[in-house]
């Protein structure tokens, strides 16, 4: 473009920033300065969101400094953008300072701070800002409600406020409420709200189906699925994975097979997560051949898929098959993670493979993997069942904060070897830590 002006630079910078090309946006801004153009308020408003990523904090501060130097930072839109930038990068102190400096706080300013606190886990602070907003008679909009819902603040409370202010007519607000109710396990209320709203969408219905599946209530999953079919909606991979994970009762095997057929018909089986869900489901029903058949049909086998098969074999009591699978995995050049190692250690416990268990322990130490929770528990169980209670004890003492399962495994280990005094002593220490045995 031979004749560039500020407007064309703004269009380029804003376009890059809006579409996630943050580096290009920053480079364009630098080039604009080199060519002697003076940025406007709109330039900074368009550019600053690109600096919300933590790796661009330094550049964001530099742009803020440029704004102060040129006086552009006095503009309320620029301050809002800077507040959003600092909030997104986790610098809440800087975001608060800018927010309090704003003389005329718009609804965008308030929403930015509510969202900032919510996004960083400060839910009480998020609610306090909302109360201030209401006290100052700022008109709440749908974004405010959705920001509060993102903060996991009581859905019933926000629901009542949305009804009072007439915001329950907004589709995005209803979707957010339905999803939060479903996430909190208040599925019946989520469904009631969903079906009472004229506009139906897949996001809300997926949340409801996932919630029922998580509870293992497959009858209601099937009922929701039937109503979804009537609305000519299709399950996506996220909903399918949730359903497959919820199918645990052998009496629901026919439902699982039916959903497998649906996945095949609609091409969902090409998603790795769906394939893994199907593999895990068939292992739960002890249909090892079907699980392996699905696994070997996968064109690409990421680590998560190998983990599903190895874990499934171990849980089905076929630890030798898990070991063979592990050898094949290594031939493909994949390195085990903590999930792989924990499953293999359980397999070693079943087979009494002390030497392989020790090699896995060395692998954990060499690669600085966390010896906490399930990995530590698996190590203790492996050493106990492979005849080395002293090594099990050493692993237990190396764990900074043992969980209940780890304490239980160590106590069981002592009992296994007839060391009642050690078991009782371990139990007493567990109670001293404020942990209740299960």
- What is the rounded CA–CA span in Å between residue 290 and residue 276? 12
Lowest mean pLDDT across 56-60, 268-272, 286-290, 310-314: 56-60
* 306 pLDDT tier (thresholds 50, 70, 90): very high
Of 274 and 74, the one with more pLDDT: 274
Identify the top-confidence range among 6-10, 93-97, 212-216, 422-426: 422-426
Whether residue 1 is predicted with pLDDT greater than 60 in this model: the reply is no
Q: What is the pLDDT of residues 364-421, one digit of tens each?
A: 888 888 777 789 999 999 999 999 999 999 999 999 889 999 999 999 999 999 999 9
pLDDT of residue 392: 93
Q: What is the DSSP letter of 368?
A: T
Q: What is the pLDDT of residues 241-254, one digit of tens each?
A: 989 988 988 889 99
- For 91-112, give the DSSP string: -HHHHHHHHHH-SS--HHHHHH
Whether residue 54 is predicted with pLDDT greater than 80 in this model: the reply is no
Can you give the residue ranges of every domain in the chain? Answer: 1-104, 154-233, 234-300
Whether residue 277 is predicted with pLDDT greater than 80 in this model: the reply is yes
- What is the rounded CA–CA span in Å between residue 432 and residue 260? 49
Residue with tokens 């078991």: 423
- Judging by beta carbons within 10 Å of its beta carbon (0-12, 13-18, 19+), is residue 409 exposed, middle or buried? buried
**What's the whole-number average pLDDT of the chain?**
87
Whether residue 262 is predicted with pLDDT greater than 60 in this model: the reply is yes
Q: Nearest-CA neighbor of 284 among 240, 262, 314?
A: 314
Cβ contacts of 33-42, under 8 Å, gap ≥ 24: 35/4, 37/4, 37/5, 37/6, 37/9, 38/6, 38/70, 39/6, 39/9, 39/66, 39/70, 39/72, 40/6, 40/10, 40/72, 41/72, 41/75, 41/77, 41/78, 42/10, 42/14, 42/77
Whether residue 259 is predicted with pLDDT greater than 90 in this model: the reply is yes
Lowest mean pLDDT across 44-58, 180-194, 273-287: 44-58
319 near 347, Cβ under 8 Å?
yes
Q: Which two tokens stand for residue 144?
A: 């405010």
177 near 205, Cβ under 8 Å?
no
Sign of CA dihedral 60, 66, 69, 71: negative
Q: What is the DSSP letter of 401?
A: S
Orientation of helix 404-416 relative to helix 420-432, angle to 10°: 170
Whether residue 97 is predicted with pLDDT greater than 80 in this model: the reply is yes
Whether residue 152 is predicted with pLDDT greater than 90 in this model: the reply is no
Sign of CA dihedral 96, 98, 103, 107: negative
Q: Nearest-CA neighbor of 375 among 352, 396, 359?
A: 396
414 near 423, Cβ under 8 Å?
yes
Of 391 and 42, the one with more pLDDT: 391
The length of the chain, given as a count of residues: 438
Lowest mean pLDDT across 153-157, 225-229, 344-348, 389-393: 153-157
What percentage of the chain exceeds 70 in pLDDT?
Answer: 99
pLDDT of residue 436: 79
Burial pattern 77-114, b for ≥16 Cβ within 10 A else e, equals: bbbbbbbbbbbbbebbebbbebbeebeebeeebbbbbb
What percentage of the chain exceeds 90 in pLDDT?
Answer: 32
- In degrees, rounded to 5, the angle at the alpha carbon of residue 241 between the alpha carbons of residues 238 and 242 is 90
Predicted TM-score (pTM) above 0.85: no
pLDDT of residue 40: 81
């Amino acid at each position: 473009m031979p004749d560039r002006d500020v407007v064309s630079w703004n269009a380029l910078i804003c376009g890059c920033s809006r579409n996630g090309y943050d580096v290009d946006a920053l480079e364009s801004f630098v080039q604009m300065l080199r060519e002697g153009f003076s940025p406007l308020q709109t330039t900074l408003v368009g550019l600053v969101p690109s600096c919300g990523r933590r790796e661009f904090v330094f550049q964001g501060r530099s742009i803020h400094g440029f704004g102060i130097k040129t006086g552009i930072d006095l503009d309320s839109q620029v301050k809002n953008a800077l507040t959003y930038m600092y909030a997104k990068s986790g610098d809440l102190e800087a975001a608060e300072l800018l927010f309090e400096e704003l003389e005329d706080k718009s609804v965008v300013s308030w929403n930015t701070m509510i969202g900032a606190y919510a996004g960083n886990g400060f839910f009480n602070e998020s609610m306090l800002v909302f109360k201030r907003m209401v006290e100052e008679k700022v008109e709440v909009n749908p974004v405010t409600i959705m920001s509060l819902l993102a903060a996991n603040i009581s859905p019933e409370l926000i629901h009542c406020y949305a009804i009072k202010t007439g915001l329950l007519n907004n589709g995005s607000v209803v979707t957010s409420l339905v999803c939060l109710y479903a996430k909190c396990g208040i599925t019946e209320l989520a469904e009631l709200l969903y079906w009472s709203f004229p506009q139906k969408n897949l996001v809300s219905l997926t949340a409801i189906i996932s919630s029922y599946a998580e509870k293992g209530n497959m009858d209601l999953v099937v009922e929701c699925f039937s109503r979804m079919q009537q609305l000519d909606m299709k399950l996506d991979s996220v909903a399918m994975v949730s359903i497959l994970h919820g199918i645990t009762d052998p009496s629901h095997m026919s439902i699982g097979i039916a959903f497998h057929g649906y996945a095949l018909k609609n091409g969902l089986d090409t998603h790795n997560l769906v394939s893994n869900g199907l593999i895990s489901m068939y292992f739960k029903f002890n249909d090892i051949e079907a699980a392996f058949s699905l696994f070997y049909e996968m064109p690409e086998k990421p680590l998560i898929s190998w983990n599903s098969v190895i874990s499934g074999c171990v849980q089905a009591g076929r630890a030798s098959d898990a070991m063979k699978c592990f050898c094949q995995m290594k031939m493909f050049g994949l390195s085990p993670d903590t999930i792989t190692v924990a499953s293999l250690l359980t397999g070693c416990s079943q087979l009494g493979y002390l030497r392989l268990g020790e090699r896995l322990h060395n692998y954990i130490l060499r690669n600085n993997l966390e010896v906490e929770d399930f990995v530590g528990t698996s190590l203790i169980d492996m050493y106990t069942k492979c005849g080395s209670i002293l090594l099990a004890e050493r692993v237990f003492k190396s764990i900074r904060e043992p969980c209940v399962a780890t304490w239980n495994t160590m106590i069981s280990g002592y009992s296994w070897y007839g060391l009642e005094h050690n078991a009782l002593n371990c139990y007493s220490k567990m109670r001293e830590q404020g942990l209740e045995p299960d």
